[in-house]
Structure 1
Amino acid sequence: MAAPPESLLRYSAPALISRRGEKGSAGARSAKGTPRQPPPRTPPAISPTPQHPQELLNAILPPREWEEAQKLWVQEVSTAHSTRRDVVLLQEQLDRQLQQQQARETGLCPVRRELYSQCFDELIRQTTVSCAERGLLLLRVRDELQLTLAAYQTLYQSSVDFGVRKALEAEQGKALMEKRIAELEEERSELERQVGEEKAKCEAIEKQENERREIEEKKHSEEVLFLKRANQQLKTQLESIIAAKS
């Protein structure tokens, strides 16, 4: 692993801990025992007896370790006091890093967030060297800000997941509705076909009944005419018979 990149947090000169395959001295074992992971969120308690500045800084801002050319190196946070000039240089270095790394000026930007986090850690270091209690209080403020930011990130991710889930549900519901619409369209077409068939049957029956009625009416008219003629003939015969007898 190569040496860590440049940081706005001020470190002391790196120290060689051990070579691969060699056992370190007592001092090296002590240095290797330095925690490599960040400390827990709870800041170190302020004890009545002031701690050594380096020990306190190691608890607040853990040293960084890396392996290079089969050698283990450790670099602790600097305990040097800072002047007003150092603060001005820190601001200039922050502006230069923001420009060089092309950090966005607005919106969410991991690069800008990382640089400001390093700057805040450097301010905590400078303050802790001058006043341990003030530095620990700044550490609490930093950790609370990180907790709040993490909570907002969790809330944002939850809202995104909720939106994606609802979008998927909407897509699934849309597919189901489209399938249902297609089924209803097919059912409507089938019903329209059945209605057309029933109408055709009704028209055929109606035409057949009209033809039958016309035939029946014609037959009835012919029967009435025949009966009228027969009646007229009988009437004429009857009158002739009556006239003959008289």
Structure 2
Amino acid sequence: MLPPPCSLLRYDPPTLVSRRTEKRCPEALPLQATPQRSPPPRPGPPCRPPAAKEPQEILNAILPPRSWKEGNQLWVQEVSSSPSTRVDVVKLQEQLDLKLQQRQARETGICPVRRELYSQCFDELIRQTTVNCAERGLLLLRVRDEIQMTIAAYQTLYESSIAFGVRKALQAEQGKSDMEKRIEELEEEKRELERLVSEEKAKCEAIEKREVEKRQLEEKKHAEEVQILKRTNQQLKAQLESIIAP
């Protein structure tokens, strides 16, 4: 495992904790404190009350130490408890601007790089404040946790909205394909109906033509019969007149 990258948060030099071979070097720190018999009390300055904690303990609770392995060695690096001056704050601002430029963080919009660097800068400010006033540092910790919780809520809401949008887009795409398929079916049905209408029209035209021809033939036949009857009538009239005449 590689050592953690450089951070804007100030750390103490790393300390070797243990090796896998269970052979500890003289500078290695124990992982667990072994119970020892306390020495007899000696006269000296009054002890701090049990409720009070050392600044390093408070810093470790606020900003946990980071650890990594190099081969068979385990290294731990705690947050620095040294106070900071105005020069350190100015240097922190310069480092922030430099890292923003080096890592090409975006100036606007959502940028994970810019958020990470500003989070490191805020942690360093909390560390500097905690060294001078633990209560103020704890209050800033609450503010940081609230901001992170709010950002996480907005991120969850954003991811949910993205998922909802993607789901709706897929549904719309599926509905679009179904609608296109339905349109094709209706167009095919329309073409079939148009074909049937054309066939029926052709049948109607054929029937009308046949009926017209039949009517014309019947009219012609009727006219011929009328002419025959008229000639027969004329002949009978002529015969009747010839019989009646003296």
- Same structural fold, with TM-score higher than 0.5 when normalized by the shorter chain: yes
Q: 1:182 to 1:71 in 2, by over 3 A?
A: same
The residue that corresponds to 1:63 in the other structure is 65
TM-score of the two chains, using structure 2 as the length reference: 0.89
Is residue 153 of structure 1 aligned with residue 150 of structure 2? no
Unpaired runs of 5+ in structure 1?
A: 32-46
Moved over 6 A (4+): none
Helix, strand or coil: the match of 1:28? coil
Deviation at 1:48, TM superposition (A): 9.1
Unpaired runs of 5+ in structure 2?
A: 34-48
The residue that corresponds to 1:110 in the other structure is 112
Deviation at 1:50, TM superposition (A): 2.3
The residue that corresponds to 2:132 in the other structure is 130
Q: 1:57 to 1:190 in 2, by over 3 A?
A: same
The residue that corresponds to 2:226 in the other structure is 224
Structure with the higher helix share, 1 or 2: 1
Look up the equivalent residue of 1:158 and give its one-letter code: S
Q: C-alpha separation between the residues in 1 aligned to 2:67 and 2:23?
A: 17
Aligned residues: 229
Counterpart of 1:200 (choices 199, 202, 218) is 202
What is the 5 A alignment of 1:1-246? 1-22=1-22, 27-30=29-32, 49-244=51-246
Deviation at 1:21, TM superposition (A): 2.0
Query: What is the percentage of aligned positions where both structures have the same residue?
Result: 74
TM-score of the two chains, using structure 1 as the length reference: 0.89
The residue that corresponds to 2:42 in the other structure is none
Deviation at 1:28, TM superposition (A): 1.5
- 1:122-155 CA-to-partner distances (Å, cap 9, x unmatched) read 0001111111100000000000000010111111
Helix, strand or coil: the match of 2:69? strand
Deviation at 1:27, TM superposition (A): 4.5
- 1:185-218 CA-to-partner distances (Å, cap 9, x unmatched) read 1111111111111111111111111111111001
Q: C-alpha separation between the residues in 2 aligned to 1:77 and 1:30?
A: 20
The residue that corresponds to 1:35 in the other structure is none
